[in-house]
A and B are shown apart, each in its own frame.
Chain A
Amino acid sequence: MSNGAVKQNIGNAKSIFGDYLIMLAAPCFVAFRFYGARSLLVLAASVAAAVITDALGGLAVSRKADIKDLCSVFTGAAVALMMPAGVPEYVPVFASVFAVAVAKFPFGKSEKLPFVPAAAGFAFVSVCFKEQVFTYAYGSEDKVFGAESLGSMLLRGSAVRVGTANAFDLLVGNVAGPMGTGCIILMLACAVYLLIRRPKALLSSAGFIAACAVMILIFPRVRASYITNLICELCSGSLMFAAVFLITDEATLPKKNLNRVIYGAVCGIFCMGMRYMGAYEETVCFAVLLANAVRPVFDSAISNMPKTMKKAPEKEVKPHE
């Protein structure tokens, strides 16, 4: 690849991840508002770990690290925002190191990554440090349900407390949960920004949320009205955050618009399926990784399906002699 092409690619990636970082400023502010300086400490540790890992990886293989494309900065920030504010600092550090060292660096340029690094990092620490990642006691004294998150209540099928929740509290993130992903109104604002900047990226988000909504309608987890179920499920964990920030990653999206919607829908089905049957209250990162893994199918098989159907050879019927 020529130097000009490399510079152009870095410029594209920088523009994309720059947009994401602008959008992430709002959840960072909300995290600071709810949890104080502790949230900034977690954020800084995570971002620093991601950037240092990227730089060290570049040194290790004598390759120039692409820190300027801001991918590692975004990865560190996204990973931190999906965690509770009270998490020990080493957990986001491990998540960022894993995300960059395993899901980003070995695959080269950030425009060609097969998996979303932030999702990989969070999934890894979810498995390794389950207790620390899903404990929301820090700063939850004045929250609606105390230290109990919506995700854990839904996992237990706690209909009573969920049924009494005020929808506005849930939408502004006044419940215990990840420090930067609870405010749904803010996520919608970020989605509007993304709609202006890169509207096609949101097709996957639309498919994702639609599939989740249908799954909630068919298989509600608590005995409450459909609206209550819908709001609780969409507000719990990092589902909306993933819909705006993780699923819309341009490198992992299929090329065609319809395929993007299908990709998002598949991701939503994976996510809700794992919520129903899995052991974790936060499953969206696993779903994103699974959808990333099957993404080549959307690009090849589904795209080629109409052509193959058109090109199906017609058998010549020879007249009987």
Chain B
Amino acid sequence: MNKNPSFKDILKKGALIYNPVLVQLVGLCPVVAASTTFVQAAALSVAMCIELFVACFAASAFLRNIPRWMRVPVYFLIGIMFVCPVLYYFETYSLINISLGMKIYIPLTAINSVVAVHCEQFAVKNSVRLALYDAAASGIGVSVIFLITGAVREILGNATFAGFAVNIPVTLRGMTLPFGCLILLGFLAAGLKAFTAKYFPVREEKEEAAEATAAEEVPETNPVPTAEEFASSDLDEFLKTLGIEIPAEEDGKK
């Protein structure tokens, strides 16, 4: 394993090959519940990225020596500390009106499994630089999914995009509901799997390498004797077939 990966490597793996939402299946709840419009999805993406950066930085820099059971609540506390002001800013001072749809989902966004998984699996075990790289990669991965689902759901469900009317003949109200988003995520996951299998066949290479090394390392074992062979042979011959040699006993010990 490369101990000093570049940002490009981490970005490729964190955002694409192991996309947090589509492959690792973490952070589904905020995506499904809150990304009903493009604007909400964009606001959530910004909040999620900020939260990931801060939590991963804190986990890598300060939380390594804290017991694990205490670290996870700390991630969530950090998340709440940063997400709430960001969303409050969006709600109060920005021109984007997200208040109606977002209020109930703020806790969902603040306490989400993306942060916990990436802090616990990567940030606490690596340097601050790599932790920030991973936060950026996973933040980009989550944000892209947020934006795609938000855009598709808004266009198909409300016939608007970022609040502007879009001319489509029929609107599908079901797409604004959670089940519509889950179906969309299913198709996106299938598409991503096909894409990565074609252009980034990392897993296949790994499996082939593992199989090759396993084939080299495992020595050839003697064939297991059948029941008839076992019955017709005496113990010494049977042990010989298994490759076990018994040293000749000394006369004095007899």
Residues of A participating in the B interface, judged by any CB pair closer than 8 Å? 90, 94, 102, 106, 124, 127-130
Chain A residues whose C-beta falls within 8 Å of the C-beta of B190 in the assembled complex: 106
List of A residues within 8 angstroms of B172 by Cβ? 94, 128
Complex CA–CA separation, A162 to B183 (angstroms): 39
- From 156 to 211 in chain B, residues with beta carbon under 8 angstroms from any chain A beta carbon are 169-175, 177, 183, 186, 190
Asked if B177 contacts A102 (CB within 8 A), the reply is: no
Could you tell me if A127 and B183 are in contact, using CB atoms closer than 8 angstroms?
no
Residues of A within 8 A of B186 (CB): 106
Question: How far in angstroms is the closest Cβ of chain B from A225?
Answer: 39
On whether the beta carbons of B170 and A127 are closer than 8 Å, the reply is no
Interface range on chain B: under 10, 10 to 19, 20 to 34, or 35 or more?
A: 10 to 19
Q: Is the CB of B177 within 8 A of A90?
A: no
Whether the Cβ atoms of A94 and B183 lie closer than 8 Å is no
Q: Do A94 and B170 touch across chains, with their CB atoms under 8 A apart?
A: yes
Contact (Cβ within 8 A) B173 A90: no
Known: A102-B183, A106-B186, A106-B190. A124 touches B170 (CB 8 A): no
Name the B residues within 8 Å of A127 (CB-CB). 173-174, 177
Query: In the complex the two chains form, what is the Cα distance from A127 to B173 in whole Å?
Result: 7
Q: Which residues of B contact A94 (CB under 8 A)?
A: 170, 172
B26 to chain A minimum Cβ distance, whole angstroms, is: 22
Find chain B residues with CB under 8 A from A128 CB: 171-175
Q: Which positions in B face A, CB cutoff 8 Å?
A: 169-175, 177, 183, 186, 190
A8 to B248, CA, bound (A): 63
Give Cα A96 to B171, complex, Å: 16
Q: A106-B190, A127-B177 are in contact. Are A90 and B170 (CB under 8 A)?
A: yes
Q: Which residue of A has the minimal Cβ distance to B179? A: A127
Shortest beta-carbon distance from B11 to chain A in Å = 29
The 9 closest A-B pairs by CB, nearest first: A127-B174, A128-B174, A128-B172, A128-B173, A102-B183, A124-B174, A90-B170, A127-B173, A127-B177
Question: Which residues of A sit under 8 angstroms from B171, Cβ to Cβ?
Answer: 128
Give CA–CA (A127, B174) in the complex, Å: 6
A129: B residues at CB distance < 8 A: 173
Q: How far is the CA of A300 from the CA of B186 in the complex (A)?
A: 26
Determine the distance from Cα of A94 to Cα of B171 in the docked complex, in whole angstroms. Answer: 11
The minimal Cβ–Cβ distance linking B163 to chain A, given in whole angstroms, is 22
Q: Can you add 7 more A-B contacts, CB < 8 Å, to A102-B183, A130-B173? A: A90-B170, A94-B170, A94-B172, A124-B174, A128-B171, A128-B172, A128-B173
Residues of B within 8 A of A90 (CB): 169-170
**CB proximity of B69 to chain A, nearest CB, Å:** 32
What would 16 A/B residue contacts be, using CB atoms closer than 8 Å?
A: A90-B169, A90-B170, A94-B170, A94-B172, A106-B186, A106-B190, A127-B173, A127-B174, A127-B177, A128-B171, A128-B172, A128-B173, A128-B174, A128-B175, A129-B173, A130-B173
With A and B bound together, what is the CA distance between A121 and B169 in angstroms? Answer: 20
A-chain residues with CB within 8 Å of residue B183 when the two chains form the complex: 102
Q: Which residue of the partner chain A has the closest CB to B170?
A: A90
The CA of A94 and the CA of B180, in the complex, are separated in Å by 14
Considering the chains assembled together, what is the distance between the CA atoms of A251 and B174 in angstroms? 26
Nearest-neighbour CB distance to chain A for B220, whole angstroms, equals: 32
Q: How far is the CA of A138 from the CA of B8 in the complex (A)?
A: 61
Nearest chain A residue, comparing its CB with the CB of B173: A128
Please name all residues of chain A whose beta carbon is closer than 8 Å to the beta carbon of B170 when the two chains form the complex: 90, 94
Kindly state the separation between the CA atoms of A106 and B189 in the bound complex, as whole angstroms. Answer: 12
| B173 nearest CB across to chain A (Å) | 5
* Bound form: Cα–Cα A54–B186 in Å: 18
Q: Please give, as numbers and ranges, the residues of chain B lying within 8 Å of A106 by CB-CB distance.
A: 186, 190
Bound state CA distance, A306 and B147, in angstroms? 50
Interchain CA distance A102-B173 in the complex, whole Å: 17
